């Protein structure tokens, strides 16, 4: 059996916040029936933390990941984002569960229709995304290029004041998303190519420039995904690094911003809440081109559908793991379409979570569920913890919360258990890529810290539950690199995590095959 870690008073207080995902076992990948069919707008992870890059500690990094479980070899079209959708990162800085700032991304595809002389009367368009090598500043061989714009909206996301975020060097409102990592022959130096797409940005009303990057990254989330969903077909009290990270060879697409923390907070409180959403137009007409029309090779050939109408939210993600294994199947689509201010409708999933009961059925006395109602989860899941990362006034709502006054921890000193491991700059005080949110939240769900909030916060329970058991999915970022884990956990390493913006590692290349 594993002994639960000794905690400092601050760690005990903040550890309750891990219950923001009270029944956590996996991150947000294909978590709801509708979104599983729309991967381009499927949010997988949301990160919010004080930047730990050297000389950047006065900034907050926001990363929203989309398009789950990307195979690096997934050509020829790879993983463009949806140019009909809007992707947004929202900040609540006054506790009313309504966005005060929104950073809105919109994308545009430029199809160059490159062609080659193939012996016909005219050149023949090629079917590939590139016809030669690509490098920083040399993208003439790229057949399709995706660009994007970013707006900052103050107030309501649809009716508030919208202002363009611009390139601090050129004043341009257009940024380039680098092509996905096709392979080493097509893009010989992907790190240099991608770094060229990290832009300094001017933010309206903010005296200090920030940064933006949108592009493919290596999946940073670590989980024993298959065995977890196979009725937890693993030893839940076994070694933390005894299982393989099955998604270690996958990529995701990141929308990353670095913003001065003073430009995100309001009033005297240093606490902010954040979440990401994706929205699509309400109406779609498929294949509008008349049958037999000659559009091959033209720009119109890309119009497989025409979309319009008001934007409708189809994906939502704040704290990790919530919709995947907390919200019940009947309400998963509804949660993705909802806003934090309306989260009272999901209260039953917080006060009476189902997963501890299921684990008890599977593992008996080794996993005894705390008694309900779980009032401790209401504090952590919907309000944050008073005096730590709860705003002075707060409307109960689900989101990731960060106290921006807590200094970042240097990469070499980060603990993957975050606050539970004595590292107050980690989850659940925001979330960093390195944080093992699965193990932290799983132990909270099983009542390992129940009673630390004081009488009445854990139903009839007044002491931590389940003795010395420490629960784990068996996979951690800090695990070994041999047969058990793909990710080594070394932060300052191009193959795992980066110690600088955008923090997630460069993506796995489509070739050579030994990279997979």
Task: Give the model confidence (pLDDT) of 28-40 as tens digits.
Answer: 565 555 667 788 9
- Give the tens place of pLDDT for each residue, 180-223: 999 999 999 999 999 999 999 999 999 999 999 999 999 999 88
Is the model more confident about 478 or about 86?
86
> Given pLDDT bands bounded at 50, 70 and 90, which one contains residue 303?
low
> Given pLDDT bands bounded at 50, 70 and 90, which one contains residue 479?
low
Above 80 in pLDDT, residue 448?
no
Query: What integer pLDDT is reported at residue 331 of this predicted model?
Result: 84
Residue 400: φ, ψ to 5° = -85, 130
- Exposure b/e, 71-82, CB count within 10 A at least 16 = b: ebbebeebbbbb
Give me the residues paired with residue 253 across strands.
Answer: 66, 216
Query: What integer pLDDT is reported at residue 466 of this predicted model?
Result: 65
- Give the tens place of pLDDT for each residue, 334-359: 888 889 898 888 888 888 888 888 88
Is the model more confident about 30 or about 236?
236
Handedness of CA 454, 458, 462, 465 (dihedral sign): negative
How far from chain centre, in Å, is Cα 140? Answer: 32
Query: What integer pLDDT is reported at residue 480 of this predicted model?
Result: 53
- Give the tens place of pLDDT for each residue, 155-177: 999 999 999 999 999 999 999 99
Mean pLDDT of 354-366: 85
Domains in the chain: boundaries: 9-515
- Round to whole Å and give the CA distance between 61 and 51: 6
Above 70 in pLDDT, residue 288?
no
Mean pLDDT of 292-310: 61
- Closest by Cα among 227, 296, 232, 222 to 485: 222
Is the model more confident about 277 or about 246?
277
> Given pLDDT bands bounded at 50, 70 and 90, which one contains residue 313?
very high
Mean pLDDT of 233-241: 87
E strand or H helix that includes residue 9: helix 9-15
Q: What does each C-alpha distance from 483 to 146, 265, 472, 497 come to in angstroms?
A: 38, 44, 18, 20
Side-chain-side CA neighbours of 165 within 13 Å: the count stands at 29
Above 50 in pLDDT, residue 254?
yes
Query: What integer pLDDT is reported at residue 348 of this predicted model?
Result: 87
Check: CB of residue 27 under 8 Å from CB of residue 64.
Answer: no
Above 80 in pLDDT, residue 131?
yes
What is the DSSP code (8-state) at residue 479?
S
Q: Report if pTM > 0.95.
A: no
Query: What integer pLDDT is reported at residue 337 of this predicted model?
Result: 82
Region at 433 (left for phi over 0; alpha for psi -120 to 50; beta for the rest): alpha
Query: What integer pLDDT is reported at residue 121 of this predicted model?
Result: 86
Query: What integer pLDDT is reported at residue 394 of this predicted model?
Result: 87
Query: What integer pLDDT is reported at residue 422 of this predicted model?
Result: 82
- Closest by Cα among 291, 362, 360, 354 to 326: 354
E strand or H helix that includes residue 251: strand 250-260
- Give the tens place of pLDDT for each residue, 383-415: 877 767 888 888 888 999 999 999 999 998 899
- Give the tens place of pLDDT for each residue, 43-77: 999 999 999 999 999 999 999 999 999 999 998 99
Exposed / middle / buried, residue 293 (Cβ in 10 Å: 0-12, 13-18, 19+): exposed
Give me the residues paired with residue 204 across strands.
Answer: none
* Residues listed for the chain: 516
Q: What is the CA radius of gyration of the chain?
A: 23
Above 70 in pLDDT, residue 364?
yes
Note if the bond before 502 is cis, omega within 30 degrees: yes
- Residue 373 neighbours by CB distance under 10 Å: 14
């Amino acid at each position: 059996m594993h002994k639960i870690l000794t905690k400092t008073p601050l760690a005990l207080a903040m550890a309750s916040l891990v219950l923001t995902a009270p029944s956590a076992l996996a991150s947000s990948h294909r978590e709801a029936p509708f979104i599983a069919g729309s991967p381009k707008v499927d949010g997988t992870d949301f990160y919010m933390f004080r930047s730990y890059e050297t000389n950047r500690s006065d900034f907050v990094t926001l990363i929203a990941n989309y398009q789950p479980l990307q195979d690096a070899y997934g050509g020829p079209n790879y993983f463009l984002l949806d140019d009909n959708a809007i992707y947004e990162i929202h900040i609540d800085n006054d506790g009313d569960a309504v966005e005060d700032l929104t950073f809105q991304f919109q994308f545009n595809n430029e199809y160059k229709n490159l062609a080659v002389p193939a012996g016909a009367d005219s050149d023949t368009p090629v079917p590939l995304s590139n016809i030669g090598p690509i490098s920083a500043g040399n993208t003439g061989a790229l057949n399709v290029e995706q660009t994007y714009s970013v707006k900052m909206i103050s107030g309501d996301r649809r009716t508030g004041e919208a202002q363009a975020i611009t390139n601090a060097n050129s004043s341009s409102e257009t940024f380039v998303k680098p092509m996905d990592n096709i392979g080493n022959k097509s893009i010989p130096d992907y790190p240099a190519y991608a770094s060229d797409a990290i832009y300094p940005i001017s933010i309206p009303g903010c005296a200090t420039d920030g940064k933006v990057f949108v592009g493919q990254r290596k999946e940073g989330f670590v989980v024993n995904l298959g065995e977890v969903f196979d009725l937890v077909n693993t030893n839940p009290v076994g070694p933390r690094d005894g299982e393989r990270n099955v998604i270690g060879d996958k990529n995701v697409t990141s929308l990353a911003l670095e913003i001065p923390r003073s430009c995100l907070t309001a009033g005297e409180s240093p606490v902010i809440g954040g979440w990401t959403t994706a929205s699509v137009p309400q109406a779609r007409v498929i294949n509008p081109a008349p049958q037999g029309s000659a559009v091959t090779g033209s720009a119109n050939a890309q119009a497989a559908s025409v979309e319009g109408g008001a934007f409708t939210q189809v994906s939502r993600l704040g704290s990790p793991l919530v919709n995947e294994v907390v919200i019940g199947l009947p309400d998963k689509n509804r949660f993705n379409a909802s806003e934090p201010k309306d989260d009272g409708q999901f209260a039953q999933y917080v006060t009476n979570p189902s997963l501890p009961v299921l684990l008890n059925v599977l593992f008996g006395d080794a996993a005894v569920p705390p008694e309900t109602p779980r009032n401790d989860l209401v504090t952590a899941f919907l309000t944050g913890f008073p005096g730590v990362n709860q705003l002075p006034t707060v409307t109960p709502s689900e989101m990731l919360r960060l106290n921006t006054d807590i200094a970042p921890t240097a990469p070499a000193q980060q603990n993957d258990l975050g606050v539970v491991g004595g590292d107050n700059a980690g989850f659940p005080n925001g979330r960093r890529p390195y944080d093992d949110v699965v193990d932290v939240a799983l132990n909270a769900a099983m009542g390992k810290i129940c009673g630390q909030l004081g009488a009445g916060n854990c139903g009839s329970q007044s002491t931590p539950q389940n003795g010395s058991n420490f629960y784990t999915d068996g996979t951690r970022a800090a695990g070994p690199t041999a047969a058990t884990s793909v990710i080594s956990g070394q932060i300052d390493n191009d193959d795992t995590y980066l110690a600088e913006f955008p923090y997630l590692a460069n993506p796995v290349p489509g070739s050579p095959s030994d990279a997979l």
